[in-house]
Chains A and B, each alone.
Chain A
């Protein structure tokens, strides 16, 4: 019998299941993984160093590009860190808008995760179902900010502008017939809140559809049950957060434990897993989508009846209204100073964390009193998860590595920064 030796397998960086540009060096014993060594950094853009060279507000757009499937949550972490140092008061309506868009983003992220994870381990159709709903949510992004992905919508002291009272409409074209366009426009006749409300009504049914496809699916269970089991103790040691931690039966959610914005006013539950395997993490994320839906509903109800400013009135931080500038000298000066120099933060350090769809997204900001950050460190949620891939993959088959990358919800924009 010939002697079988260990061999090294290169996985990625150009591999559809690598979720971007992950290069994995796998030491294999037959088909069993002995050691996994992820090589990251292929998408390293030096976001943190770039932030040091520009005024605070100009980096908000870079935050979108960190975790590019949950854009607004990244912005949220960044503006919170600034607001903490500034001590600025955020208007209540802006807080509700932020929470609503955080949860829209959470659904966006989980849909992307579910579709891609399913596709990786052999469930083709779920991908199409997920992208159907993602489309509507990205329309909300577009309506409020003009961009479907990289919104740059949050500002220190609030959000860029109030919710629009009409939705963008589809037009008929070579690809969309008149009747198809008018059918697409049916739900887009009212304000943006009407459109989201309609979505919130529909969405639980859609989640049921995903569950019909997967939850009791024999193949799905064979690929996920018992794969990548992490005990609660190890999950803490490895720095897991978010659904990865909750999947391991630790009830920890910053929205409940260290509430920011108006999360303490809202009613929602935190799902936890029991076994800490990939299947439990799947169930946790599915339930999170339902809970996010509940939160969005509550935000819509509040936003419908409560009007008010959405950006702080402190014009040292936020620009004055366009109209004021025409007649008011001081407003003009504020505007000029803000857009040529930006605002200075007090000297100090702050750390702000939000419950990002992938886990804890934190921003550590060191300010020396200048109009630019002295140092910005982004604590990416996926970073410690990917670092634990070695431990999770040991003893599993090669095909399970794909399932593990999927269950960790890896996005390289935030890991490589």
Chain B
């Protein structure tokens, strides 16, 4: 397995000498591509016999808005710890609809991650493409290269609001007809915004603001763990 991946790493570095991001991550090769080079890169990944990624296994959006933020400080001992389940430190976790601003970072917020599979070489790779504009994320569509990107992109559009340039039929896929918002964004509350029920007086289904109380039983905690020292992922055998 490992030698196959290393071969592919070399092949990818040879095929894309300008791309500095190609690296090994666990058991597959990861590559970052800018949106304007995505289609060209994808065609090459698909057609080049040394790469031959004939199948798109998966494509999904990731929202990095609150990446690395926890709800409980673990590096300082303080008296406020007991209030960890009451006072929120990030969006959409403990309290909802409070108008809390998302943290400002210079990292791109939306990334489209695709998993490709090469049957000839029996390796996988991850192709990551970050949308440049956070307010209107646009990424070129991969449908000309892999047909099954169609529904995956519709799903990513539906759940994250990422627009796919060149997609022929970008409709919502999973959410209800007439749904507003993009539910998998980090600023979308877990409990949603509206609830629906059948109103026997009006004799139709009515939508109302949510009435349930959100609560979090286990706060989100990030612990410094010496076993996982910066960026290193542990090897299989040294437990």
Contact = CB atoms under 8 A, between A and B. Distances in A.
A372 interface: yes
B174 A369 contact: no
A211 interface: no
A103 B191 CA distance: 37
Interface string B6-41: 000000000000000000011110100000000000
B28 A351 contact: yes
A40 B58 CA distance: 18
Contacts of A417: 174
A314 interface: yes
A257 B234 contact: no
Contacts of B238: 87
A377 to B, nearest CB: 4
6 contacts: A53-B190, A239-B147, A252-B119, A346-B233, A347-B68, A350-B26
B60 A344 contact: no
Interface in A352-373: 353, 360, 362, 364, 366, 368-372
Interface stretch (A41-49, A194-202, A322-330): A41-49
Nearest to B60: A377
B202 interface: no
B52 to A, nearest CB: 11
Contacts of B227: 346
Given A84-B27, A237-B54, A372-B218, 12 more contacts: A40-B174, A41-B176, A53-B93, A87-B233, A239-B146, A347-B231, A351-B115, A351-B126, A364-B113, A377-B62, A387-B151, A416-B174
Contact of A236 (B55, B151, B239): B55
Given A40-B174, A44-B174, A55-B218, A344 B119 contact: no
Nearest to B93: A53
Contacts of B231: 347
Contacts, number: 142
B56 interface: yes
B1 interface: yes
Given A387-B148, A416-B174, A379 B228 contact: no
Contacts of A226: none
Interface string A46-63: 101110011100100000
B176 to A, nearest CB: 7
Given A239-B56, A346-B233, A348-B25, A383 B174 contact: no
A307 to B, nearest CB: 21
A340 interface: yes
A86 interface: yes
B105 to A, nearest CB: 13
B43 interface: no
Contacts of A87: 233-236, 238-239
A238 B26 contact: no
Contact of B25 (A50, A55, A236, A349): A349
B8 to A, nearest CB: 13
Contact of B57 (A46, A239, A344): A239
A50 B183 CA distance: 11
Given A46-B183, A236-B54, A347-B228, A366 B62 contact: yes
A53 B216 contact: yes
A344 B225 CA distance: 8
Given A85-B233, A349-B25, A377-B58, A369 B151 contact: no
Nearest to A349: B25
Contacts of B150: 387
A121 to B, nearest CB: 26
Q: Ordered nearest first, which 9 A-B pairs have the shortest CB separation? A: A346-B228, A239-B148, A87-B234, A41-B174, A387-B151, A379-B58, A377-B60, A44-B174, A384-B148
Contacts of B222: 344, 368-371
A86 B25 contact: no
Nearest to B169: A37
Interface in B190-229: 190, 216, 218, 220-223, 225, 227-228
Given A85-B26, A340-B218, A360 B233 contact: no
Most buried by B among A58, A89, A258, A377: A377
Contacts of B175: 41, 44
Most buried by B among A340, A342, A366: A366
Given A346-B233, A362-B115, A387-B151, A369 B60 contact: no
Nearest to A375: B62
A86 B233 CA distance: 8
Contact of B173 (A40, A362, A366, A379): A40
A303 interface: no
Contact of B239 (A89, A351, A362): A89
A342 B124 contact: no
